Structure 1
Amino acid sequence: MTIQTKKYTIVLLMMMMLLSACGSKSDSGDGKTDEAQNNGSASKERVVTVYEDAKRAESEEMKKKIADFTKETGIKVELNIVPGDGVEIYKKIDVDMISNEKTDIIRLTNPILIDKYGSNGWLYPLDELMAKENYDATKIYGKYLPKFQDGKTYVLPDQAGKWAVYYNKKIFDDAGVPYPSGEWTWDDYIETAKKLTNPAKGIYGSYMLDYDNYMYMLARQYDVSGYKEDGTSNYDDPAFKKALQFFGDLGTVQKIQPSWLEFKSKKLSWDGFMSGDYGMHFIGTWYTNQFKDKTTYPRDWKVGITQIPVPADGKGNNNFGIVAGYGINKNAAHLDDAYTYVKWMAENSYKYNGNLPARVDLSDEDIKALFQKTSDDLSGEITVEELDKALISNNLGFVDEKITGPGSTEYSNIILQEAELYLVGQKSLDDTIKSIKERADRAIKDAAQ
């Protein structure tokens, strides 16, 4: 072979290699390869990426759900873990949405977040994806399906939780106090908590968190709206002033739970009740899963559940709760697989976390089976009958726990900011209510522009 022939042979081999490489990705004619069309992932592996906070990512519930989802669908789940708890995660996601981050899935834990992310255009509309397979979200989720002004569907709900009082049976037993059961008032709750509180042992009778709705929970039980008929803030209604004072007094006057200052200075956590230092916890039913997870929360005490207390005047006999759900980032890298994930989680999450499902297509027997599974997962610490009485078969009505409407995200932030000044003694109650009203009116006006 001559030198010239060798050169031609080498060139020919190089051209064949290039053609072979190009041929490994078929072109559809629109400039996109099969790989690009398959959600941007290699054809040999389907992937979906999901935002999760650090604590939730390590929970047994999350690990089990992901394992079952992957087993059933063949789609691998990769978590984008954000340090901190369920509050800090949204600070990062907010920034990521502005910078076009491509993490596929966003879990939205309350109606304010659902409205914010949907209305800001950060979520991918699900309507065309659902239409392709004739998926009837309204039939499955009914009244719990989040609505948006443009008429599109951005979120599928995975829970429609209610609130309850969970209690530590050991603390009750040690104090010789009977377990709470059936109808009771906030006066009853306070008196019970006082009997449980033992400063010498570091025990409080009650535990509540630093969420905005605790500031106005009493007003919501009376079903007082956060908006007037003309669309302005209704925070000057006396019910909101009474509610804020009531919450503050639980820590500073009644001394049955950590005051706001103690909660913040000691950096107490959303899962603080699991420490075993508190007699009762007033919280949503999403919390049930913490009691199941004895790996993360080993404990030597048993838990009970009862319905929430109500105002003594008999005019605020309402439970409250929220809808939470999943949405797809509008810039998602794996759109089809992300849709599969959202749909699967919306339909199946209730089987893992003990919360009430957002599905209206389930029968009474399905709900009973859910309660039975929860009871079994808790080794019978809570019975099916106790769950039913606390959450379903009682005389309580139901209202949204959050103030939702125009500017609701900023409205919520304003309540927390101003209420904190009152709760630490830096602002009077009247001035606090006045400031919330004035600032909320501006936020509502800005949201309308």
Structure 2
Amino acid sequence: MVGVTNYSKEVAETTEKGYVKVGKMNGRKASTSLLICGMIGLTLAGCSSKKDEVVPSAVPTVAPTSSTVATPEAKKEPVTLKWYSTSGNANLPATKALLEDYKKYSGNTVELETVAGDGDVIYKKIDIDLSTSGSVDIIPLQNPIIHAKYANSGFLLPLNDLYKESGVDYEKKFGKYLTKFNDKVYMLPTGAGTWAVFYNKKIFDDAKVPYPKGEWTWDQYVETAKKLTDPSKGIYGSNFPDYDNTFYLLAAQRGISGYKADGTSNYDDPAFKESLQWLGDLGNKLKIQPSWLETKSKKIPYDVFMNGKYAMQFTGTWFAFAPIDLKTYPRDWKVGITQPPVDPNGKNMIGITSGNGINKFSKHPKEAADFVNWVADNQYKYGGSGTPARVDLTKEDTDKIFNEMAAKFPTTDGITTDDLKDVFLTPNLGLKPEKITGSIAAEYGKIILQEGESYLVGQKPLDDTIKAIKTRADEAIDKAKTVKN
């Protein structure tokens, strides 16, 4: 991948310091990259406040649009563009192939501004550069927090007018995967990451419970988990990751913003209270999965599903690397994968999109826009399998992508191309941001984790918890305004 890091567990997890976690990736970077994040530059975009809201579009079924931006005048005189990249991604063969192909197409050269290291270290360098305008043209936007941060800080170039002049219909090409801030587009997506349910077929078979398939609700998920939970065998029917966004999952699927229209915290919306109580009940009352206290005290790892004692695992589709890796996770049971359950009040999955933006001070904005569009159009052709953010691809295109992905799973699992298309593309579901970003993105997640945990472990009443989250979030929002002014 170019200019990005592998994005798996860190998709939805904010550390206590407010940064996206990357420390648990070492043992699985290669597998994750090849499967889910294998497309060059798979980065993240995402959520925002109601004020800075992701605007999903309907998903059209049309023939592929042209991947060509109208030839910039500067192509008569080839230019050299610069694109940030981590050192690991810079040396990938697929990266080199992509850049060579773009030069053949455009005549322009793209050089990588390589940053040593991995994880969010690249953004420390970008922050410094952008504070003094910087000379790098293209900025990878690898998660919703980064995307919102740079868009709201005025570091990114609005792309609407450039693409209007060039005849690029980004609404048609990217549909529900296109992210806007105040109706402005700052990024064209290269890939998408959503959520799914992985399940242990042996536990289902032993309990004589049918495998889940297609669209289903959280009520159905809970009832299924009850049938599969067997304390005598140490089997849980369900497991959730310990991410801040699981605290407000139902609200996220309903598209409830973390901010009110006036910019203050919206955490007193009843949907957030309902979401936190529901999450707590899964472990504390229904006991279909480990309680939050058990998860933390026993330090249950993110990949515990692979020990064979959990019937279902709700997590990001990036987790598909684990069932494929039989060396790290040997097993004598079969894995299945299906769509995430939906909230009855909104048939939406949660997830992210990722891509590239342009430095507001780029000396070659038209050429940079041409490159960003070309990568967004062609990303899925390079470096392995993943979920393309284009909604206008032909059946032949998508079949090829998911045929390759299905071939990576053990044949005994019986996972087909259609199974993966159903899960990764979810044409029957809308897309809502999985995280709250806005003006205090990292701080918001930190507050939710700290205060929400006090409720989940029984230290604070639910109403007091919600009030504390809103109060602290409002204080952080006011502080952010003061700093900005």
Q: Structure 1 residue 365 and structure 2 residue 336: aligned?
A: no
- The residue that corresponds to 2:83 in the other structure is none
Structure with bigger gyration radius: 1
Q: CA deviation at 1:244?
A: 0.3
1:59 aligns with 2:22: no
Q: What are the ranges of 5 or more consecutive residues in structure 2 without an aligned counterpart?
A: 7-21, 40-91, 101-110, 362-366
Give 1:205-220 correspondences, 5 Å limit. Answer: 205-220=237-252
- Residue identity matched to 1:169: K
Aligned AA for 2:285? Answer: V
How far, CA to CA, are the matches of 2:408 and 2:461 in structure 1?
Answer: 47
**Following superposition of structure 1 onto structure 2, how do residues 334-373 of structure 1 map, counting pairs within 5 Å?**
347-348=378-379, 355-373=386-404
Q: Secondary structure at the match of 2:282?
A: helix
Instruction: Give the whole-Å Cα distance in 2 for the aligned partners of 1:285 and 1:353.
Output: 15
**CA gap 1:219/1:236 in 2 versus in 1, 3 angstroms:** same
Alignment CA distance shift 1:110-1:200 (3 Å)? farther
For residues 219-275 of structure 1, give each alpha carbon's deviation from its aligned partner in whole angstroms, at most 9, with x where no partner exists: 223332222233322211111111101011111111122222222233333333333
Hey, what does 1:412 align to over in structure 2? 445
Decide whether aligned partners of structure 1 residues 355 and 250 sit closer, same or farther in structure 2, where only a CA change above 3 A counts.
farther
Spell out, residue by residue over 1:186-242, the C-alpha distance to the aligned partner (whole angstroms, 9 max, x if none): 232122222322344443221111222211111223332222233322211111111
Superposed, which structure 2 residues align to 1:180-219 within 5 Å?
180-219=212-251
Which SS does the other structure have where 1:256 is aligned?
coil
Moved more, 432-441 or 260-269: 260-269
Counting matched residue pairs gives 388
Match 2:348 to one of 294, 315, 318: 318
Aligned letter for 2:247? M
Counterpart check, 1:113 vs 2:119:
no
Q: In the superposition, relative to structure 1, how do residues 71 and 183 fare at CA in structure 2: closer, same or farther (>3 Å)? A: closer
Aligned equivalent of 1:433, options 466, 471, 480: 466
Spell out, residue by residue over 1:140-162, the C-alpha distance to the aligned partner (whole angstroms, 9 max, x if none): 64663544579674x55332233
Asked if 1 retains the 8 angstrom alpha-carbon contact of 2:226 and 2:288, the reply is yes
| Matched residue SS, 1:282 | strand
Aligned partner of residue 438 in structure 2, secondary structure: coil
Amino acid of the structure 1 residue aligned with 2:31: E
1:171 and 1:70 map into 2 onto residues whose CA distance is 45
* Alignment gaps of 5+ in structure 1: 1-47, 83-88
Name the % identity: 49
Q: Under a length normalisation based on structure 1, what TM-score does the superposition of the two structures give?
A: 0.70
Counterpart position of 1:278: 310
Q: 1:100 to 1:429 in 2, by over 3 A?
A: same
How do 1:35-434 residues align onto structure 2 when only pairs under 5 Å count? 53=22, 54-55=25-26, 58-62=29-33, 66-70=92-96, 73=99, 80-82=116-118, 89-90=119-120, 108-120=141-153, 138=170, 141=174, 144-147=177-180, 153=186, 155-311=187-343, 314-325=344-355, 347-348=378-379, 355-379=386-410, 381-390=414-423, 392=425, 395-434=428-467
**Cα distance in 2 for residues equivalent to 1:277 and 1:352:** 34
Question: In 2, Cα distance between the equivalents of 1:446 and 1:315?
Answer: 34
Looking at structure 2, the residues matched to 349 and 202 of structure 1 have their Cα atoms a distance apart, in angstroms, of 41
> Is this contact kept in 2: 1:144–1:358, CA < 8 A?
yes
Q: For 2:350, what is the secondary structure of its paired residue?
A: strand
CA distance, structure 1, for counterparts of residue 152 and residue 218 of structure 2: 37
Amino acid at match of 1:285: T
Question: Partner of 2:222: helix, strand, or coil?
Answer: helix
Structure 1 stretch 139-148 or stretch 107-116: which is displaced more? 139-148
C-alpha separation in 2, matches of 1:162 and 1:296:
24
Out of 229-238 and 205-214, give the one that drifted further. Answer: 229-238
Task: Please give the secondary structure, in 1, of the residue aligned with 2:407.
Answer: helix
Instruction: Output the CA distance in 2 between the equivalents of 1:107 and 1:56.
Output: 24
Name the CA distance, whole Å, in 1 between partners of 2:4 and 2:348.
35
**Distance of aligned partners of 1:394 and 1:324 in 2 relative to their CA distance in 1, 3 Å threshold:** closer
CA pair 72-94 structure 1, distance change in 2 beyond 3 A:
closer
- 2:349 counterpart SS class: strand
Task: Look up the SS of the partner of 1:231 in the other structure.
Answer: coil
2:79: which partner in 1?
Answer: none
| Secondary structure of the corresponding residue to residue 194 of structure 2 | strand
- Indicate how the Cα distance of structure 1 residues 304 and 230 shifts in structure 2: closer, same or farther if over 3 A, else same: same
Question: Does the CA contact (< 8 Å) of 1:161 and 1:323 recur in 2?
Answer: yes
Q: Shift in Å at residue 349 of structure 1?
A: 5.2
What's the TM-score, normalizing by structure 2?
0.65
What is the Cα deviation at residue 439 of structure 1?
Answer: 1.8
CA distance in 2, matches of 1:144, 1:165: 21
1:242/1:300 CA distance change after superposition, 3 Å: same
Greater relative CO, 1 or 2 (CA 8 Å, sep 6+): 2
1:95-142 per-position Cα deviation (integer Å, ceiling 9, x unaligned): 55566699x998655322321245457x77697xx99xx896947646
Task: Measure, in 1, the Cα distance between the counterparts of 2:319 and 2:409.
Answer: 13
